[in-house]
Structure 1
């Protein structure tokens, strides 16, 4: 190895850790949440409800497929499971349109909507890549105050994205 190559390699080894410390961290390139009717993540993002880190990362509630909770087993977002936190209940009709905002688009297998553990709707995208917004018209099949869990199942990973919306269905 020539002396110049050795010096260049040595400089690289010494400078790389320094760059990691001084360069700003990039934002997460993840992923998606329901903005309308206002989900718990959207209420945190908008400052409607006082929240921790989820305020800055409403799109990042990602966990293994098959969960049935609001925080996708992400410990730092556990407050999304707190039903007594003061979430604003959204008045909707029995058939409601849910709008997702996607900050990173993934091949999608299905979108699922649950109330009280029962699936009320499912949309199969067959591995398609969605646009930056996705809407689903869902017949909720019941009335009264309900907590809806929406799940975006990714086709090419073992993960899904989780969102809860507090509803008053008339």
Structure 2
């Protein structure tokens, strides 16, 4: 009887360690410069954010954007319904980082679990973008204004990519940052509102 109880306790312990190990790897990465929607939720600047306030690093969805990946209207949440608050345009009232057309800007990622990486890509909304509506592919330029290839390398825990914003934008716009993972079918998504 004692051997059976000991075996059961060991079995439960192994399962527990496995669950904890898997759970610890669920965090991955987010942009904090320019400040992303998930950071505004996590630091309490924006309220009523649901689960994203505790998991700003977990906006993971299918890779292959823009040909594949999250459906229109779910892009900022990476197609993940748990984080749908990120897709709510909040009547265009998300806080925005002030920028200047044509300026050089650093785009910084905080990576809580590092992965072999294909690339980081940065897209900007087109002139005429309406910040009061959920983001769609038609709102974004079809090509990123900045692509940083990684060729399968694993990035540092904090990475910054310097890029130049397009010179022909005014008003409130949105930067979509996409971190494409090399050895899984997923990517990480982050939306940052900017004010030109």
Instruction: Flag whether TM exceeds 0.5 (same fold).
Output: yes
1:81 is the counterpart of 2:102: no
Deviations 1:57-107 (A, max 9, x none): 000001110325111111110111111263101102332111111101111
1:101 match: 110
SS at match of 2:123: strand
Say which of 163, 166, 169 aligns to 1:143. 169
C-alpha distance in structure 1 between counterparts of 2:10 and 2:157, whole Å: 38
Structure 2 Cα separation of the partners of residues 18 and 139 of structure 1: 52
Does structure 2 retain, via aligned residues, the 8 Å contact 1:143–1:168? no
Report SS of the residue matched to 2:90.
Answer: coil
The C-alpha deviation readout for 1:123-169, integer Å capped at 9, x for no partner, is 10111111110101122213222111110000111110000000013
- Aligned partner of residue 55 in structure 2, secondary structure: coil
Distance 1:61 1:17 in 2: 31
After TM superposition, what 4+ stretches of structure 1 lie above 2 angstroms from structure 2? 6-21, 24-29
Correspondence for 2:120: 111
Unaligned runs of 5+ in 2: 126-139
The equivalences for 1:36-51 within 5 A come to 36-50=33-47, 51=49
Structure 1 position 11, deviation (Å):
3.7
Residues 1:166 and 2:164 are matched in the alignment:
no
Q: Which has the higher strand share?
A: 1
- Whole-angstrom distance in 2 between the partners of 1:120 and 1:153: 16
Q: Which has the larger radius of gyration?
A: 1
**Alignment partners' CA distance in 1, 2:115 and 2:191:** 20
Does 2:152 correspond to 1:127? yes
Count, aligned residues? 162
Aligned partner of residue 128 in structure 1, secondary structure: coil
TM-score in terms of structure 1 length = 0.84
Q: Partners of 2:183 and 2:15 in 1: how far apart?
A: 30
Q: Distance in 1 between matches of 2:152 and 2:10?
A: 42
Cα distance in 1 for residues equivalent to 2:150 and 2:185? 16
